[in-house]
Structure 1
Amino acid sequence: MSRRTTIPEQPRRPVSLGSCIIYGCGAGLLGVAAMTIGERIEQYFTGRPSSYVPGHTLERLLGFPERPNFERFGLNMAMHYGQGAAAAVIRALMSANGIRGPFSDFMFICVRLMIDQTLENVTGVGAPPWTWPVNEQVIDILHKAVFAFVTGYFTDRWLR
C-alpha cells in the first residue's frame, strides 16, 4: 500500500513558459467551449437571456463606440474565448509546477472569477457580484466551475 503525501508532485523535466502558454491557451479554448455548451443548455431550461457583458467589456477596453447587443456577437465571442485562453495560462503554470487535480481546479474557479470581475468593474460594465441576485451568482459560479474543471483536466494531462 502506497502512502499518500501532502508534498506536490514535482515535474520530472522543466516545462517551458512557451509550452505553458500554448497548452494553456488550447485547454482554455476547450474549457470555454464546454462552458458555452453548458450555458446554452442552462439557458434552454431557465429561459435566461445571453449576456453581452463580455462584449461590452472588450468594447470599452478597446475604446470602441457603444453598439447594440445584436451587433456585439463577435466582440462577445472574442472576449469570451480570448479571456478564457489567457486565464488558462495560469492553470497551465499550476499544472507544470505540480499544482494539479480537483483542489487546483477549485482554486482556478476563483482566479477566473477574479479576472472577469476585475475587467468588468474596471471598465464600468459590471456590478460587484454581491449585488447580483443569488441565482445569478450560483449560475455564474457553476459555469466557471465547468470551465475550470475542463481546463484543469487538459492542462494536468498535457503538462505531466
Structure 2
Amino acid sequence: MPAAITSANTVRRGRRSVLAGAAARGLLGGLAGAAAMTASQRLERAVTGRPASHVPGRTLLLLAGRSPSEGDRPGAATLTMVVATSAALGAVRGVWRASGLLRVRADVAQTVLRIIVDQTLENATGAGAPPRTWRQGEGVVEVLHAAVAAVATGAVVERLVEPVLESRRGTTSH
C-alpha cells in the first residue's frame, strides 16, 4: 500500500481505531495459533508418550474461584485456557503488526510472552511449578509448542494486518 494512502487512511480512521481493528483481526490469528499448538501437542504426546498437561485447566479454575485438586483433569477448562490465552496473544500480535513489529522478531517475542504469561498465571495461582523444577527437557517442549503457536498466529496476522502505524521517527537518534 502506498505511504500516502496509508497515512491518509490512518489519519482518517485514527490510531485507536486502527489498533482496535488490528487487535480484532489478531484474535483470528490467535485462534489459528491455538489450533496449531493443540495439534503439535497431540502429535508430540503420541510420539513421546508424555501425558497431557491439565495445569492450564486447573489454572483457569483457580482464577475462576474454584478449587481443583491435583488429580483433576479438566479437559474443557484446559482447552478454554489454551484458546483464551492464544486469542489474547493474537490480539497483541495484531497490534504489534500494525505498529511494525514483524515476522521473526514478533515470533520470538510472542513465544517468550506466551511462556511468561503461562508461567505467571500457573505459578501465581499455585497450579503449576516453576520451570527450574521441571523434569529435564520439559522446558524445551513447552518452548517448542509456544513457538508453533507464535508462527501460526503470525502467518495469519501477517496476512490480515498491515503495518500502517510503523514509524520511522527515532531511527537516527534517540
Q: Give TM class, smaller chain.
A: 0.7 to 0.9
Percent of residue pairs bearing the same amino acid type: 37
Q: In the alignment, does 2:60 pair up with 1:46?
A: no
Q: AA paired with 2:145?
A: H
Residue 152 of structure 1 corresponds to which residue in structure 2? 154
Give the 3-state SS of the residue equivalent to 1:134 in structure 2. Answer: coil
1:134 aligned residue (129, 133, 136): 136
For residues 31-85 of structure 1, give each alpha carbon's deviation from its aligned partner in whole angstroms, at most 9, with x where no partner exists: 0101110111110010001000011000100001325534x11111111101110
Q: Separation in 2 of the partners of 1:52 and 1:29?
A: 20
| 5+ long unaligned stretches in structure 2 | 11-16, 163-174
Residue 34 of structure 1 corresponds to which residue in structure 2? 36
Q: How is 1:65-84 mapped onto 2 (pairs within 5 angstroms)?
A: 65-66=67-68, 68-70=71-73, 72-84=74-86
Residue 115 of structure 1 corresponds to which residue in structure 2? 117
Moved more, 61-70 or 103-112: 61-70
| Structure with larger Rg | 2
Residue 105 of structure 1 corresponds to which residue in structure 2? 107
Q: Separation in 2 of the partners of 1:83 and 1:108?
A: 11
For residues 96-115 of structure 1, give each alpha carbon's deviation from its aligned partner in whole angstroms, at most 9, with x where no partner exists: 11111112211111111111
How far off its partner does 1:154 sit?
1.1
Residue 61 of structure 1 corresponds to which residue in structure 2? 63
Q: How many residues align?
A: 150
Kindly indicate whether the alpha-carbon contact (under 8 Å) linking 2:89 and 2:110 is maintained by their aligned counterparts in 1.
no
What is the aligned-residue RMSD (CA, Å)? 1.8
How far off its partner does 1:20 sit?
2.2
How far off its partner does 1:133 sit?
2.1
TM-score by length of structure 2 reads 0.80
TM-score by length of structure 1 reads 0.87
Residue 95 of structure 1 corresponds to which residue in structure 2? 97
